[in-house]
Amino acid sequence: MKRLITALTIAIVALLCLPEAGAQKYACVNTDYVLKSIPDYANAQKRLDKYVSDWQNEIDQKQAEIESLRASYEQESYLLPDNLRQRRKDDLAAKEQELRELQRQRFGVGGDLDKKRSELLKPIQDRVYSTIERIAHEKSYAFVFDRAGSATVLFASEKYDISNQVIELMGYTPGQTQTAPDAQQSAKTTSKPGAKPGERQGAKGNMPQNSGNRQGPENPEMKFRR
C-alpha cells in the first residue's frame, strides 16, 4: 500500500511538472467534509449501524449457546458412552461451523453488510461524485483531488478547495456537520468472518466510519469513478 501511495504521488508530481500542465486548472475537495454535511448520509449511517448491531447480537446469542453446550459437554463427557460422546462432539462442531457461516454471511466480502452499504450509502456518494463532476466540467478543471483520499497531498490551498461549492450545489449548508443520534453505536465490534467462534474484530476493518463500527460507519472512503 505504501508503495502504491508513493508511486501515485510521484505520478501526480510528474504530471504537474509537464510543460502543458501550466495551462490546466486543478481543484481539490474533501469528501469526508462533504458527506458529513449531508443529513441523508448521517441517517443512512444510523440505519446501517442498526443493522450491524442486530446482526452482531444474533451472532453473540449463537456464540453464548455454543459456549453453554461446550461447558456442558466438558463436564459430562467422561460419564458418556463413546457413541453418545462422539455425537455430542459432532453436534458442537456443527454449531460452530454454522456460526462461522453466519459470520461470513453477515460480515464477509459480498455479504449482508456490503450489500447494505451499497444500498444505503452508495446512492449518496454517487450524488456527490456527480456534483463534483458537474463543477469540474463547468469550470474546466483538468483534475480534482480528494483531500480525504489515500493519495498523499502535502498541501492544498483553501482557494482551490471546492468542497463548499459541492455542498451548496447539492442544496445543503456548508459547515453544518450532520451526526447520527446513535453515532456511539458505531464503536460496537463485530465478529471476524472466518474466525473461530468467539473471536471478534473491530468493525472498523469492515465498515465505513460510523457504520456499526465496525466496521461501520467510519465515513467510508469515497471510491469515485475515473
DSSP 149-189: SSS--S---GGGB-HHHHHHHTT--TT-----TTGGGGG--
Residue 174 has a pLDDT of 86
Q: Is residue 4 part of a domain?
A: no
Residue 155 has a pLDDT of 62
Q: Is residue 194 part of a domain?
A: yes
Q: Is residue 52 part of a domain?
A: yes
Q: Is residue 215 part of a domain?
A: no
- Rounded percentage of the chain residues whose pLDDT exceeds 70: 64
- C-alpha cell read off for 82: 463413546
Give alpha helix (H) positions in the chain: 2-16, 31-36, 39-76, 82-107, 112-120, 122-138, 163-169
Residue range of the domain that includes 174: 24-205
Q: Is residue 43 part of a domain?
A: yes
Cα-flanking dihedrals φ and ψ of residue 168, to 5°? -65, -40
CATH of the domain at 175: 3.30.910.20
Please state whether beta strands 141-146 and 190-191 pair in parallel, antiparallel, or not at all (unpaired): unpaired
Question: How many domains does the chain contain in total?
Answer: 1
Query: What is the pTM for the complete model shown?
Result: 0.63
For the cut 80, the answer to whether the pLDDT of residue 79 exceeds it is: yes
Where does the pLDDT of residue 98 fall: very low under 50, low under 70, confident under 90, or very high at 90 and above? very high
Beta bridge partners of 69: none
Residue 173 has a pLDDT of 87
Q: Is residue 223 part of a domain?
A: no
Q: Report how far residue 218's alpha carbon sits from residue 8's, in angstroms, rounded to the nearest whole number.
A: 24
Q: Report how far residue 196's alpha carbon sits from residue 96's, in angstroms, rounded to the nearest whole number.
A: 8
Where does the pLDDT of residue 160 fall: very low under 50, low under 70, confident under 90, or very high at 90 and above? confident
Q: Is residue 216 part of a domain?
A: no
Residue range 101-151, pLDDT digits in tens: 999 999 999 999 999 999 999 999 999 999 999 999 998 888 888 888 665
